[in-house]
């Protein structure tokens, strides 16, 4: 049982897709060093994995979990109803994470929320439980995914990644006595990456490093923590 101050509002700000590209990697580090980002999730399938691992060593306060990925951005075929194959792939990626990072991930989530599918979530709960780390969407840490510019697939509305919208999320979506995760997808456009959600990532960076966001966090008395901090509670 975690020891939480019932009067404190705890917030983890976690970036998905670490390792996906050099531009995504650089943006995540900028948001960690200059903004409010405390954690990220590593894609061991990413084309910029080596750079991500090097940057993680240069930024030891950045907590790093596993971003399980079977689809990527190219929508490659993977039948998630093939449970034995999906299980084998999950543990292959977990082993790959341990090999490159030299430790266990601080948390587990998945690209395009694959593990949340009804037929997969019970299996992921069982696979992750022995690891002793949080699995996104299980309730251990409250998950809030509203900071995203495409609430409708391929329809962009940048207000959802703007300063005012994030300030409102901070006011209304971070209750006292609980740990909340805000997910985000910062990135810079680079030649080694294409995706449906691309230019929007640069707008996320601008908001996450905007000093008004840090000021709002301080005014509200929100305590920024990482998934590594959560594991030590």
**Per-residue confidence in pLDDT tens, the chain, 233 aa:** 678 999 999 999 999 999 999 999 999 999 999 999 999 999 999 999 999 999 999 999 999 999 999 876 556 677 888 999 999 999 999 999 999 999 999 999 998 777 888 999 999 999 999 999 999 999 899 999 999 999 988 889 999 999 999 999 999 999 999 999 999 999 999 998 888 899 999 999 999 999 999 999 999 999 999 999 999 99
Domain total of the chain: 1
In a domain, 117, yes or no: yes
β-bridge mates for residue 142, sequence order: 180
In this structure, is residue 30 part of a structural domain? yes
**Cα-to-chain-centroid distance, residue 12:** 9
Q: Is residue 4 part of a domain?
A: no
Strand intervals (E) in 69-167: 108-110, 142-144
Q: Evaluate whether residue 54 is within a structural domain.
A: yes
CATH number of the domain where residue 195 is located: 3.20.20.370
Q: Which structural domain range is residue 102 located in? A: 9-232
């Amino acid at each position: 049982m975690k020891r939480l101050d019932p009067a404190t509002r705890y917030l983890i700000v976690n970036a998905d897709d670490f390792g996906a590209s050099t531009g995504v990697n650089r943006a995540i580090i900028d948001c960690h060093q200059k903004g409010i980002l405390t954690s990220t999730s590593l894609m061991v399938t990413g084309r910029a994995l080596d750079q991500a691992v090097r940057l993680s060593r240069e930024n030891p306060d950045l907590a790093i979990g596993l971003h399980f990925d079977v689809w990527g951005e190219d929508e490659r075929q993977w039948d998630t109803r093939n449970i034995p194959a999906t299980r084998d792939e999950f543990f292959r990626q977990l082993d790959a994470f341990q090999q490159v990072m030299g430790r266990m991930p601080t948390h587990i989530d998945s690209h395009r929320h694959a593990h949340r599918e009804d037929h997969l979530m019970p299996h992921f709960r069982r696979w992750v439980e022995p690891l002793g780390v949080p699995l996104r969407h299980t309730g251990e840490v409250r998950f809030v995914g509203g900071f995203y510019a495409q609430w409708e697939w391929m329809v962009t509305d940048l207000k959802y990644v703007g300063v005012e919208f994030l300030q409102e999320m901070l006011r209304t979506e971070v209750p006292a006595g609980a740990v909340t995760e805000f997910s985000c997808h910062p990135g810079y456009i680079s030649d080694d990456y294409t995706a449906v959600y691309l230019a929007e990532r640069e707008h996320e960076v601008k908001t996450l490093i905007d000093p008004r966001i840090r000021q709002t966090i301080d005014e509200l008395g929100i305590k920024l923590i990482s998934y590594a901090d959560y594991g030590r509670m």
